[in-house]
Amino acid sequence: MNTSRDPRIAIVGAGLGGLTCARVLQQHGRSVTVFEREASADARPQGGSLDMHPGTGQAALGAAGLLDPFHALARPEGDEWRVIDFATAALLAQRGPSADGGRPEIDRGQLRGLLLDSLAEGTVRWGHAVTGVAPSADGTCRLLLGDGAVEDFDLVVGADGAWSRVRPALSPAAPGYTGVTFIETGFDNCDTRHPDLARLVGNGSMLAKGAGRTLVAQRNSNGHIRAYIALRVPQDWHEAAGVDLGDQRALRTHLLRMFDDWDESLRYILRNGDQGFTHRPLFVLPAPHTWDHVPGVTLLGDAAHLMPPVGLGANLAMLDGCDLARAVVTGSRLDDAVRAYESIMLPRSIEAATGSAKGLDHLVPATAP
């Protein structure tokens, strides 16, 4: 293994965790290359709003020297939550943002852009798909690229999400379906085009729950509301129902039937989205998910501990990236640094996975709440 002060490090995946890791490494003068299969930073939408927790996501941003620009973009008022009765749309409970703005919201795309802008030019190799990795006997790791090229590194970090191409070098685990599917839609210029929905949602998020059915609407920046129709259904539910997911009208009609006992102000979310429906079955890795240490390769974020999207995943991925980078820059030997990181990350992720599973059961209860 290369024991120089500047080991060759590759990060696979330009998500929040991988970019945080790269940023902290570069802050300390280390070179790093990020391989990303997408063609550019704006190749696809980045998803909804995230609440950054003080001890995880915000701690990572602080270590990356990006806390002030984060706060300049974030929306403290977005931490507001409203719980609505599904049958009457009456307000059941409301939680305002904390007095100290403890968990401000930020659009995922804005946060990713902040991290990308902080990196040295050329750090991310766009359009470079990784098909796998091959650890070597000398403790290094070979990166296998989609175009047939190979590159050798002292450390390859799998930050490539749920269907990681790096994970098989460490673990045979594969994501399994949770029993819950999200169907996403969105509303533009909500305060002028959808004022009743905007008032219902407020400054943050709105939640309405029935038996096996939940609606979540979340205010993003620039007057956009992102909504999720959460269903506790088999993964092939649409096939059993005879619904073609590519037929937006048929899908809308079926969803309206599924929510026919809900208040019309909530059914508005099903009727009037400005964006088509996007079908997102939720998958998780087995918990606990651990592996025997392999020199030259490790994982972070969803590649290591894929969990339900209940507010922990992005925060933990960023903390993973920060912890790994700090272990590398402070350790005397690269392999010892990676072992130290894994000894912290793996127990932490087991606890978080348990909590996330309970969170999903609370979000989409099997029986009426």
Backbone angles phi, psi at 85, to 5 degrees: -70, 130
In degrees and rounded to multiples of 5, residue 3 shows phi and psi of -110, 20
CA separation, residue 266 to residues 87, 92, 252, 260 (Å): 9, 14, 14, 10
The CA distance from 111 to 214, in Å, is: 27
Identify residue 168 by its one-letter amino acid code. P
How many other C-beta atoms can be found within 10 angstroms of the C-beta atom of residue 72?
Answer: 8
- Predicted local confidence at residue 101, as pLDDT: 56
Rounded Cα distance between 369 and 359, Å, is 14
Q: Which residues pair with 209 in a beta bridge?
A: 214
Q: 184: number of CA atoms within 13 Å, CB side?
A: 12
* Structure confidence at residue 312 (pLDDT): 87
Q: Which domains does the chain have, with CATH numbers?
A: 9-79+100-174+285-363 (3.50.50.60), 177-284 (3.30.9.30)
Three-state DSSP at 25 gives helix
The residues, any chain, with a CB within 8 Å of residue 42's CB and separated by 6 or more, are: none
User: Do the bridges between strand 33-36 and strand 9-12 make them parallel or antiparallel, or are there none, so unpaired?
Assistant: parallel
- Cα(353)–Cα(80) distance, integer angstroms: 24
Residues of the chain with pLDDT under 70: 1-5, 98-101
Q: Record the tokens describing residue 259, joined without a space.
A: 């929510």
Q: Are 99 and 224 in contact (CB under 8 A)?
A: no
d(CA 224, CA 113): 18
pTM of the entire predicted model: 0.94
